[in-house]
Structure 1
Amino acid sequence: MSLLKKVFRFYYEGFKGMTVGKTLWAVILIKLFIMFVILRLFFFPDFLKTNYKSDKERAEHVRNELINLN
């Protein structure tokens, strides 16, 4: 049996036997979805895209900010 097949079978059997673990994984996945998708849409707007029209302007702004770190 190949190593990849053994690893897959190990995790498959482990998840299949879970009862409480399935619920915990569902909660973890929902929380990750909320953190990375929902919150990003509302609280982290695309600053560079809204304030600068071209890629050259965006690159110049980033370059200046990196150089002028105080």
Structure 2
Amino acid sequence: MGERTKYLCVAEEKIVEIPISKIKNGVMEKPELANQTLLMMQLVDETENRKPYKILHISFENVSFDENGKYD
């Protein structure tokens, strides 16, 4: 079993995932979200055979992305 964290944003009637690979030094980058304030969900779950097994933590926050699509 393992754990993983996912970041999801609600943007214009759709859900946008911010891959962990796009988070560097605590800064999230998603250019298509530039100049927007969105609801972001952080989801931590436990995996079994690389599939979600159990939700460990969920948190929600309104976040603002700058003109370059960065949030820190």
TM-score of the superposed pair, with normalisation by structure 2: 0.18
Q: Which of these two proteins has the greater Rg computed from alpha carbons?
A: 1
More strand by percentage: 2
Ranked by relative contact order (alpha carbons within 8 Å, sequence separation 6 or more), the top structure is 2
TM-score of the superposed pair, with normalisation by structure 1: 0.19
